[in-house]
Amino acid sequence: MKKPCLLIYLIIFFDSLSFAGDGDYAVSKIPQVLLKNADAVVRLQEVRFQVNNTREATEWNHYVITIMKESGETSSGFADYYDKMRDILSVEGILYDSNGRIIKKMKSKDMEDISGVDDNSLMDDSRVKRHNFYYKAYPYTIEYTEVIRYRNTLFFPAWMPQNDEKISVEFSQFSMICPEEYKFRFRSFNYPGEPEVSTDKGKVVTRWSVHDLPAFLEEPNSPYQNEITPCIYFAPTDFQVDNYSGNMNSWQDFGRFVYALKQGRDVLPDNVKTKVHQLSDGITDIKKKIQILYEYMQKHTRYVSIQLGIGGWQPFDATYVANKGYGDCKALTNYMYSILKEAGIPSFYTLVKAGRNSRPILDDFPSQQFNHVILSVPVSGDTVWLECTSQTLPSGYLSDFTCNRKALLINENESKLIHTPVYGLNENTMIRKVSAVLDENETLKVKSVTDYRAMQEDKLHQMIHYLSKEKIKQNLREQLDFGTYEVNSFDYTEELSSLPVMQETLDLTVSNYASATGKRLFIMPNIMTRSSRKFGMNEERKYDIVFHAEYRDIDSAEILIPDGYKAESVPRPVTIESKFGKYSNSVILEGNKIVYYRLVEQYSGRFPAKEYTDAVRFYDNIYQADRSKVVLVKNNSSDQKSF
């Protein structure tokens, strides 16, 4: 039987669309409830995704959005990518005024076609089509219709009618169209009821739709968006990428596909094999051997994104990386796997969804949810984790980029989800000691030594390895919580281990640190670690409160003050204990020296919205306690020089 050509599908699709008549998209027709808090209103969205076979799929996307104000401009244009695996077949665009009258139609020459390669990409076949009417007479409406052909079925698009806060939706619909014999899978969030299912000419059409969704507002420390607004994720059963076929019914099935992509790509050139044995033979400590080989890999490779066809999923072989000295996360991880294999150390290629506070994968929904690859090395009941794209991270440490999340360990027939390391209260620590002198002109000279550990040192690690000294000094000039100050000197030393420590040494001069009123002098004893976290008490909390990471900060400071003052008021010790964390501070006067101590512990967890008032109170109390002041008064007695 001859397969229907794509042109027929396009004709059917465009014939079925209900194009607006003049004035149908007038702003006056938007229901009043959808205008509240809305920067933009989705008037209409129709998405159809058709699985033609396991090798190919087609997506039709038709959407109409009214831009209410300048802050809604992020929704005003069109942008999408294409490559060897994904074609943009057509795009149409129309601009309407506030009364719904057509102002302009997009012409083919108006569409930009630019490279999709970023600074980290050496080889990438992706390009981006983009367009914007650049119309600024608010409100106005844009309409786009796009047709996409997929040359693989590994990825199915998700449906999220509200993809951001301050966007309301009049109507949105998603249709999944598959041959009767093909089974797809889906996982829904915040969708009431079941989808509509019908059969048409040998194809099963499954349809979801929503209407009249008011705009929502993001709240601090709220759950991930798929828990707040309707969202449906889709995944195939059988799929194909290039000449590789697979199945996603289970993580084991998906793991077999990934394993097949990398099979036979672990052969090292002879010179690298020789070097591996020179470096590692005779070393009995397995973790030490892993560290030495990992550092060798780091010194002789660098990360470069390579996204060519199936290369977006398949690693370049170990010989390629050895000869070129670069690779993407897949290639570098496979290279490190090959090095360890040569040394007789088994390890596992492991898929992970990277990113700080990245949305967790759906562990009960096997599908391609990953964007990164790392290496896990089992060692005597423990696991050594290796981030192979980094030239600076120590062996055994995963930063907040990939820690504390589910990952898929790839084994030929036994792939399984595992959990990456969790760095908690006892690992993510900051310990600071400050010695300061206040002179007669209220200028404070500060010397501080701070040890940052684990996730607390992640940002500093990036800074010292990738920024110049001048840029680091500029950052310090901008980020410290002082009015006017000078960075006299700074230094950073790093202890590389599975729980790295960064020591920061600063020498600062802070002008007008204390404030004088008459004969009184006001001094804030908490010099460098004042909390900036405050929640709005008047807000009506709708969503749970989520804290992803936990940490412990300990500060101690000694401030030498000028002679001739005595204490008039000293803050009392503060202790605050809560389900969200713990806080304490104390101020002691010893002669002409103020001694300050502060401890704060932030707990991780998820708390119901009804406890929001407790959270507000907890962080407000810390905010205030951090800014309490010692009040000194000039001692008029000539024989009293100190407290």
Q: Are residues 269 and 202 in the same domain?
A: no
Say yes or no to pLDDT of 115 above 90.
Answer: no
Place of tokens 């589910």: 406
What pLDDT, on a 0 to 100 scale, did the predictor assign at position 509? 96
Q: Are residues 280 and 354 in the same domain?
A: yes
**Structural domain ending residue among the three candidates 217, 241, 265:** 241
pLDDT digits (tens, 9 = 90+) for 318-354: 999 999 999 999 999 999 999 999 999 999 999 999 9
Q: How far apart are CA 614 and CA 599, in angstroms?
A: 20
What pLDDT, on a 0 to 100 scale, did the predictor assign at position 14? 44
Helix axes 329-342, 286-300, angle to 10 degrees: 140
Say yes or no to pLDDT of 67 above 50.
Answer: yes
- Per-residue DSSP letter, 239: E
What pLDDT, on a 0 to 100 scale, did the predictor assign at position 564? 86
Say yes or no to pLDDT of 187 above 50.
Answer: yes
Whether the Cβ atoms of residue 501 and residue 495 lie closer than 8 Å to each other: yes
Q: How far apart are CA 40 and CA 212, in angstroms?
A: 13
Using CA atoms, how far residue 33 sits from 25, 29, 170, in Å, is: 17, 12, 10
Tell me the average pLDDT across 454-473. 94
Classified as helix, coil or strand, 13 is: helix
For residue 26, what is the domain's CATH number?
2.60.40.3140
Q: Are residues 605 and 486 in the same domain?
A: yes
Q: What is the 3-state secondary structure (H, E, C) of 256-322?
A: HHHHHHHCCCCCCCHHHHHHHHHHHCCCCCHHHHHHHHHHHHHHHCEECEEECHHHHCCCCCHHHHH
Between these two residues, 16 and 240, which has the higher pLDDT value? 240
Tell me the average pLDDT across 482-502. 95
Sign of CA dihedral 257, 263, 265, 266: positive
Q: How far apart are CA 471 and CA 494, in angstroms?
A: 19
Whether the Cβ atoms of residue 449 and residue 503 lie closer than 8 Å to each other: yes
What average pLDDT is seen over the chain?
A: 92
Task: Find, among 154, 202, 197, 164, the residue nearest to 72 by Cα.
Answer: 164
Buried/exposed 48-65: b ≥16 CB within 10 Å, e otherwise: bbbbbebbbbbbbbbbbb
Q: Are residues 210 and 76 in the same domain?
A: yes
For residue 374, what is the domain's CATH number?
3.10.620.30
Say yes or no to pLDDT of 460 above 70.
Answer: yes
Confidence of residue 479 (pLDDT cuts 50, 70, 90): confident
pLDDT digits (tens, 9 = 90+) for 309-321: 566 789 999 999 9
Tell me the average pLDDT across 561-574. 92
- H helices present in 350-483, as ranges: 458-466, 469-479
What pLDDT, on a 0 to 100 scale, did the predictor assign at position 242? 87
Q: Are residues 230 and 259 in the same domain?
A: no
Q: What percent of the chain has pLDDT over 90?
A: 83
What pLDDT, on a 0 to 100 scale, did the predictor assign at position 2? 38
Say yes or no to pLDDT of 642 above 60.
Answer: no
Whether the Cβ atoms of residue 305 and residue 125 lie closer than 8 Å to each other: no
Say yes or no to pLDDT of 10 above 80.
Answer: no
* Token pair recorded at residue 367: 């599908």
Tell me the average pLDDT across 222-234. 95
Tally of domains in the chain = 3
- Which domain, by its residues, includes 265? 249-419
Q: Are residues 43 and 189 in the same domain?
A: yes
Say yes or no to pLDDT of 5 above 50.
Answer: no
Place of tokens 């169209």: 177
Place of tokens 């990738």: 466
For residue 503, the surrounding DSSP H or E stretch is: strand 501-511
643 falls within a domain: no
Confidence of residue 591 (pLDDT cuts 50, 70, 90): confident
Q: Are residues 99 and 48 in the same domain?
A: yes
Q: What percent of the chain has pLDDT over 70?
A: 93
Sign of CA dihedral 208, 213, 218, 223: negative
What pLDDT, on a 0 to 100 scale, did the predictor assign at position 116? 72
For residue 121, the surrounding DSSP H or E stretch is: strand 121-124
Confidence of residue 20 (pLDDT cuts 50, 70, 90): low
Tell me the average pLDDT across 605-621. 95
Q: Phi first, then psi: what are they for 574, rounded to 5°?
A: -120, 135
**Structural domain ending residue among the three candidates 366, 393, 419:** 419
Confidence of residue 534 (pLDDT cuts 50, 70, 90): confident
| Bridge pairing between strands 102-105 and 167-179 | unpaired
Q: How far apart are CA 61 and CA 485, in angstroms?
A: 55
Give Cα 37 to chain centroid, integer Å: 26
424 falls within a domain: no
Tell me the average pLDDT across 420-437. 97
Q: Are residues 509 and 589 in the same domain?
A: yes
Confidence of residue 243 (pLDDT cuts 50, 70, 90): confident
Whether the Cβ atoms of residue 351 and residue 373 lie closer than 8 Å to each other: yes
What pLDDT, on a 0 to 100 scale, did the predictor assign at position 635? 80
Q: How far apart are CA 230 and CA 237, in angstroms?
A: 23
Tell me the average pLDDT across 467-485. 91
Say yes or no to pLDDT of 95 above 50.
Answer: yes
Whether the Cβ atoms of residue 385 and residue 421 lie closer than 8 Å to each other: yes
639 falls within a domain: no
pLDDT digits (tens, 9 = 90+) for 281-319: 999 999 999 999 999 999 999 998 876 556 678 999 999
Say yes or no to pLDDT of 616 above 70.
Answer: yes
**Structural domain ending residue among the three candidates 389, 419, 449:** 419
Q: Is 218 exposed, middle or buried (0-12, 13-18, 19+ CB in 10 A)?
A: exposed
Confidence of residue 492 (pLDDT cuts 50, 70, 90): very high
Q: Which of 36-45, 112-121, 438-447 has the lowest mean pLDDT?
A: 112-121
Q: Are residues 160 and 228 in the same domain?
A: yes
Using CA atoms, how far residue 184 sits from 6, 195, 234, 367, in Å, is: 22, 14, 7, 11
What pLDDT, on a 0 to 100 scale, did the predictor assign at position 536? 79
Q: Which of 34-38, 524-528, 535-539 has the lowest mean pLDDT?
A: 535-539
Q: How far apart are CA 257 and CA 410, in angstroms?
A: 9
What pLDDT, on a 0 to 100 scale, did the predictor assign at position 17? 45
Q: Are residues 116 and 202 in the same domain?
A: yes
Can you point out the beta strands (E) in 551-621? 551-560, 565-569, 574-578, 581-590, 593-602, 605-607
Q: Are residues 117 and 146 in the same domain?
A: yes
What pLDDT, on a 0 to 100 scale, did the predictor assign at position 123? 57
Say yes or no to pLDDT of 16 above 70.
Answer: no
Q: How far apart are CA 27 and CA 43, in angstroms?
A: 10
Q: Are residues 396 and 446 in the same domain?
A: no
What pLDDT, on a 0 to 100 scale, did the predictor assign at position 502? 97
